[in-house]
Structure 1
Amino acid sequence: MTADSMDATVPSRRPALGFIGGGVMAEALIGAVTGGGLAAPGTLLVGEVDEERRRVLREQYGVEVTADNLAAADAELVVLAVKPQHLGVVLQQLRGQLREDTIVVSIIAGARLQTLCEGLEHPLVVRAMPNTPARVRRAATFWIPSAGLSQPALLRVRSLLGALGTEVEVADEAGVEMATGLAGPMPAFVYFLIEAFIDAGVALGLPRDQATLATVESMRGSLELLHRSQESPAALRKQVTSPGGATLAGLKVFESAGVRDAMDAAVRAVHARAQELGRLPLAPLEPGKEG
């Protein structure tokens, strides 16, 4: 059987969970759902335009794959996981094609509930914003449902998003958009800081592996202490900062360099860009550009 013929094979039964787009974020969700036992791999169907991505997802997770988005959209719960600029094409493909009881969960940055409901001609839509720690079931996912979802449907969504880590239902879409600016890019921001501290350690003369160990384990321990403690980040910071001490000297450099202001500006930039993406002209979908 060829790879193409395997890609064309879809389950005879209705999939429990379908994905439109099989990129990085979709893969994180697939790994969390299958690894956490929420759904068996054979009950998932992923619609992905790129053949190599289909092969990777099929071989690594044992899920069903297809190049046909309509087949994946036949699932009981469908996750929209394409780039914002490809949303228009997906809406065209799926408009009026969903079953009445299908629940749609969009993780597309900037895509508002009204746009999704009207574009799909479907009332059962959830807008959510997870982040990549979903791969280890430590995501922070903020979400809001459309008005049409029943309590059983909401419980199913909560179960799905809860399998990824912590889920928070917010009162309005502004809450999701603000979370997009903070939680969405947080992994990248943290990795950026880790890179910078490792480079600083190397510049002092530490071997890179030791600088990496010192940075990663210290950050891991600090986060675990914060997680377990009842104290605020500020209180824990002050415990490490003696008057006239070495740590204070470093913190003064951060303050004089405007690190807080830079972090605030970065979060605001992400928030603004996510809103812009939701207003971008809708472009044709090209192979290999989902995810």
Structure 2
Amino acid sequence: MHTIAVIGAGKIGELVLSGLLRSGWPVEKLLVTARRPERAKELTERYGIRVVDNLAAVSEADVLAVAVKPQDAGALLDEIGTKIPTDKLIVSLCAGLPTSFFTLRLPEGTPVVRVMTNTPALVDEAMTAISAGPHATGAHLAIVEEMFTPLGATIRVPESQQDAVTALSGSGPAYFYLLVEAMIDAGILLGLPRQVAHELIVQTAIGSAVMLRDSGEHPVKLREQVTSPAGTTISAIRELENHGVRAALLSALEAARDRAREIASQSG
């Protein structure tokens, strides 16, 4: 089993770290780096994990999962890039950064795999998209799938699609939370207690998601099963269409994709 070092112990780094531990990855095969001593102490106490500096991570780990903020990735690679042997696998979790950002700053031939996961990894229901850089092989992708499959579903996509993935599933949980929040507020407006509205909407969301996943039906067909002629549902859908909800979602996802591209261009 490979030794993995998570470089950068922010939200995404800890999400990956905790998921690996839940999946049964041996704690002695995991390392983490943290800039702040108090953060290092917190991680050690919470997970029993060994916290090392970046150069020790490079020396000891087979896989380096880079989970720093995109704007910090350049400084990190300035520190460790030339010291990384080409037999190490670099797994980038830096939203918006292409694999070329890394290959330009690493020794020639170093394999890089770009990953976009999302926060449902905390409950082992993530959607993780994986893309190979120019030197990454099928074997490297298999290692990354081994890391992330216990956290939910994985899919391989061409790197050219990663900005769209970021907009759709990377940021996707926030869209659903916003929708649920609005529906709970609507329930309160309609006279329901907040807790009742919360339970109704959350379970409805869970049930609908499971039906989408397990039935194999197109969402249009599932929606039509709920939509009776001249009924309550079609009246609600008409109002959603009148307010441009579909168009707003299209614009929102385009904006998220464009921001991902901006992050890449700003990082050089």
1:248 corresponds to which of 214, 234, 239 = 234
- Aligned twin of 1:236: 222
Amino acid at match of 1:70: L
1:90 is matched with which residue: 71, 76, 88? 76
1:71 aligns with 2:45: no
Identify unmatched segments of 5+ residues in structure 2: none
Residue 210 of structure 1 pairs with residue 185 of structure 2: no
Task: Work out whether residues 113 and 126 of structure 1, in 8 Å CA contact, stay in contact via their aligned partners in 2.
Answer: yes
Distance change (3 Å), C-alpha of 1:208 and 1:140: same
Say which of 224, 227, 232 aligns to 2:213. 227
Distance (whole Å) between structure 2 residues aligned to residue 35 and residue 265 of structure 1 = 37
CA deviations 1:133-185 (Å, max 9, x no partner) are: 11122211112112323443332122112222211112x32111211111100
Q: Are 1:275 and 2:267 counterparts?
A: no
CA distance in 2, matches of 1:102, 1:32: 22
User: How many residues are aligned here?
Assistant: 266
Contact 1:20/1:80 (<8 A) preserved: yes
Residue 52 of structure 1 deviates from its aligned partner by 3.3
The residue that corresponds to 1:181 in the other structure is 167
The 10-residue stretch of structure 1 (99-108 or 149-158) with the greater mean CA deviation from structure 2? 149-158
Is 1:26 the equivalent of 2:16?
A: no
Offset at 1:91? Answer: 1.1
Match of 1:154 in 2: 141
Q: Verify the 8 A CA contact 1:20 1:73 in the aligned structure 2.
A: no
Deviation at 1:281, TM superposition (A): 5.0
Determine helix, strand or coil for the equivalent of 1:279: helix
User: 1:128 touches 1:142 (CA, 8 Å); kept in 2?
Assistant: yes
Alignment of 1:25-64 (within 5 A): 25-37=12-24, 39-64=25-50
TM-score, scaled relative to structure 2: 0.94
Secondary structure of residue in 2 paired with 1:128: strand
C-alpha distance in 1 between matches for 2:206 and 2:138: 38
- Pairing partner for 1:125 from 91, 94, 112: 112
Q: Partner amino acid for 1:36?
A: S
**Helix, strand or coil at the partner of 1:120:** coil
- Unaligned ranges ≥5, structure 1: 1-14, 283-291
Partner of 2:87: 101
Maintained 8 Å contact 1:43/1:63:
no
* CA distance in 1 between partners of 2:231 and 2:41 (Å): 55
Q: Find the residue that maps to 2:153 and give its secondary structure.
A: strand
Aligned to 1:287: none
1: distance between equivalents of 2:137 and 2:171? 31
* C-alpha distance in structure 2 between counterparts of 1:256 and 1:53, whole Å: 49
TM-score calculated relative to the size of structure 1:
0.86
Identity percentage of aligned residues: 36
The answer as to whether partners of 2:164 and 2:257 remain within 8 angstroms in 1 is yes
Letter in 2 for 1:26: G
